[in-house]
Each structure stands twice: as C-alpha cells, then as structure tokens.
Structure 1
C-alpha cells in the first residue's frame, strides 16, 4: 500500500517538477517566516506534534509491543529497524503528500475552509491524474485496516497481560474492539481525533517517563552491541 501511494505521488511530482522549487520555498517560508513565528509558533508546533504522533506513534511505546515478538539474538538491531518506521511514515510519505498538495491545488484560502485531510489529498491527486482517487482510496483503506490490526494487537497484548492469557479474555477483548470499530465509524471525525489525541497523550506520559528511567540501560546495551560488532 505504501509503494502504491508513493508511486502515485512520485508520478504527480514528476509531472509537476517545474513547481517543486516554488513549493519547497512556500513550505520553508510558511514554517520560518516572521509572520508564522509571531502568529502562533507554539500553537503550530502543538498541532504538528499531534499529527506526527498520530502518524507514526513515536514516543508512545506501542511499537515496542510488536517488535518484542521478534526472535533475535541482538535486540538493539530491532531498535534500529523500529527507527525506520517514523522515517518512512513521516519524513518520506508525509513530505511527498505535502509536496503533491502544494504543487497542485493548495491555496492559502483553503486554510479557512473545511477542506482538509483525505479530501484535500484526493483533490490534489485528481488535479493531475484523474484516475488517482481510485488507488488513493485503496491505499487509504489499507492504511486504515492495517492500523486497526496493529492497534488491536497492541490492545490485546496489554489487556491479556493485565487480565491473564485465557481464551475467554482474548475473545472478550476482540468482541469489545470490534464493537468500538462500529462506534468509531459513526462518530464525527473531528470528535474522534480529539478523543484519540487525549488518549494518546495519556499513553505517552508513562512511556516517556519509562524512556527516561531506562536510558542508562539502553546506553549499556548500545555500548555492549558496538563492542561485539567491532570484533567481527
């Protein structure tokens, strides 16, 4: 799904390559101009942090649940693999999405309208490739479906850790999760995102505290891994 999305975005950027320098300049100016700083730098940063966490879950500790299931003799290497996820998700995919939007349909007037998110992205793709909403829709569905699978796994492992690894517990959680999928689909997107942001914030607090407390352990593991790596 990521490859499908990236290929579509790359094709649009190639077709609009003459607009790329202007788009990059607009992004840079919008981020670092005096007007942007005086107009609410902190507020923009907060929104950026919210969307970044929503995109790649960095700092939440959720990815550790999935990576802990991997069998490896070197846990540090799995940490390096985990570092690739935020890079691919945010730096590559989100940057290409922004460039597609800015090089095609973006207008500062849209900032005060309801056009945003997947609707804005769809307009950007369709402005250059009329057939692109079809693969974009497929990619969006796959992104959403894979997110549900991963978060259900995180929740299942966390719940069974607290309630015990019993078939009844697992089935009960899965039914509960499926029920909330239906409820989430019927709630307005804005309210759902606000709720997600609040819950993600609650998850991040203990995890960030744990990262700080476990930093010496991580340092020891890194030193040990580098020493072993230097022997080969």
Structure 2
C-alpha cells in the first residue's frame, strides 16, 4: 500500500543522502577524546592530537607550516565528525516519524504497533549514537565500523528492515481489521478506499520530503567539507615526504558542487 511504501522508503532515501557524496575511505581512521589516529595504507600509524604528530610512535620533526597543516587536518576531522553523526541521527528520526504516521493512519493514534516500532527504532538510534559519542559525550568514531565507507551501511539498513517486517507480521491481524474498518467507512468501495490511502500517501511523502530536504542540504555541505579535507591531504602528502602515502579520503568532484 502506498502509505507503507512511502514511509519505509523514507529511511533508505535519507540514509543514502550523504552516501551520494561518492566518498571512498582508504585505511582506517579513529577519533576518540580529541585524539586522531590514522592507519595509513602503507602500514604507517599517524597520531595527531592538535599539538604534535607521532609517526609510528615517534614525534615528527616538522616545520611550522607542515605542523600547521597537520593540526588543520586534525581540526577538520574534529569538526566533521559531529556533522556526520547529526545527519545519521536525523535520518533515523525522520524514518521513525514517517513510519509512525503511516501506521497511525490505519490503526489510530497510540496503537501498539507504532509504540513497538518506535521502541525498536529508538534502540537503533541509541546504537548509532554510541557509534559517534563516548559515554562522556565527546565525539568519536572508528571507520572500521563503517560499511564500505557508508555510516548507514547495508547491515544497519537490513536490521531496520527486518525489525519492521517482524513487527508487521506480528500485527497483521490488527492491520487487516483496521483495513476492513477503513473500507467500511468507504461504503465497501475498494477504489474509494485506495484513492483515500493514495491521497494520504502523497501528503505523507510531501511532508517528509520537506524535512528530508534539510538533511540533504546538510549532506551536500558535508560532502563539500570532505572534498576540502581530501584537498588538504594532497597538500600534506606533497609537503611532508614521510606522509607521501596519505590518501585516507577520496571524493569525486562531480558529486559535491555547492
């Protein structure tokens, strides 16, 4: 039915917005308590804390300009991490709202299915929050937990889809009764019922698309910021011989026009 299709599609469309950036991450990047660690593709370990740079545990002897570039890189990653987290959490919140509206239309307000679904989605939101925030509230992330460079990868989407499917199956009886009642209100006219549901689905999509546009704008800004970080990497790799292999982030130019 259109209402259900519209609602479930919201999660996957918003989750993929930032992924349209076409970013590839090489090696691993970990941020924790302001400490940035890069596992470079050439098996070197670079540690940045905003003041000094350690390569394989040894402090690097750098010029003022070189150190400033690395400190800027560290700061840019610190600034980008909460933006990534914000987009991911906003996408999950939007999915929750869209699915809830769809089922509330059929089952009425405060129904058990929406309550259960909201609880399940909230558990996913908490899981996602823990990926980006430490217990003390500081930002963190580990790129090793991403799925092919996507912070909402296939595993996360699959988990959401499975939870939704199980809840719908468990509540199928209630759904059929609700659909039957809705048809009675339409005088048993299936076409009238379908048209009413389609109108609701169209309105739901329109309402959610307005909200989703804000997330998409954030994702476009994030993509541009990532491209700037990619450019800074190129400057660092050209200026610091020991880091000539630095190429953690690669962003396609055609995807991030502002």
Q: TM-score, normalised by structure 1?
A: 0.30
User: Between Structure 1 and Structure 2, whose CA radius of gyration is higher?
Assistant: 2
Structure with greater helix share of residues? 1
